[in-house]
Amino acid sequence: MRSKIVVIDDSEAVRSSLKAVLETYSYDVVTYGSAGPAIEAIFDDRPDCILLDVRMPEVDGLTALQLLMSTAPHVPVIMITGHGDVSMAVRAMKAGAQDFIEKPIDDQLLEKSIASAVAKRAVSDRRLKQAAAVSERYSRLTKREKMVASLVAEGHSSAAIASLLSISVRTVDHHRANILAKMQATSVPHLIKLILQAEI
């Protein structure tokens, strides 16, 4: 599946040039001349990476970056400019940019930066899906099972949990078996890892 790249730059010549270059690397490219329409479209159809010019009329690149971070925080943004300086680069990186590239743009350097950003996005997406799946499984636990699970995660033995909750060890073991099954944990250490992830 081809990665989708959005280019936001007020220069038509730059947009056309970047589109042509990136298509040779087998990317699907969509271009915008200003940030407003791009941000609206990105909210509904999130791309794999965004190339954003720093200096643009109406909404400048740094302001657009902050809006993108609030609208689509998991989409990596690479800032591009012909008038970059160190302070601007620092501000862009602090605001959430993945990289900062000056014009004239080196094609290979740009592609390398995009490939890195897309790879990081893929890893982030997998982690988010895994976290959502763990949270969904955790939500299926009963209130008592969550209590037992938390105590297991704290390292308490079945006997200790039984004493704390004033129930039998057999009942604790029954709860632990149900928790392992519902959380799809392969072992107690695996369960502890999942419980900590879900509760965080």
| Verdict on whether the full-model pTM lies above 0.85 | no
Give the three-state DSSP class for 81.
strand
Are residues 101 and 169 located together in one domain of the fold?
A: no
Residue 19 sits in a domain whose CATH number is 3.40.50.2300
Do 119 and 147 share a domain, yes or no? no
Q: How far apart are alpha carbons 53 and 65 in whole angstroms?
A: 10
- Reading the chain (200 residues) residue by residue, the pLDDT tens digits are 789 999 999 889 999 999 999 999 999 999 999 888 888 888 777 789 999 988 887 777 888 888 888 888 888 999 988 776 667 777 888 888 999 888 888 999 999 999 999 988 788 778 878 888 898 999 999 999 999 999 998 889 999 999 999 999 999 999 999 999 999 999 988 988 888 877 65
Same domain, 151 and 108: no
**How far is residue 103 from each of residues 33, 54, 133, 160, measured CA to CA in Å?**
17, 11, 42, 65
Total count of domains within the chain: 2
Give the span between the Cα atoms of 69 and 85, in whole angstroms. 22
CATH of the domain at 186: 1.10.10.10
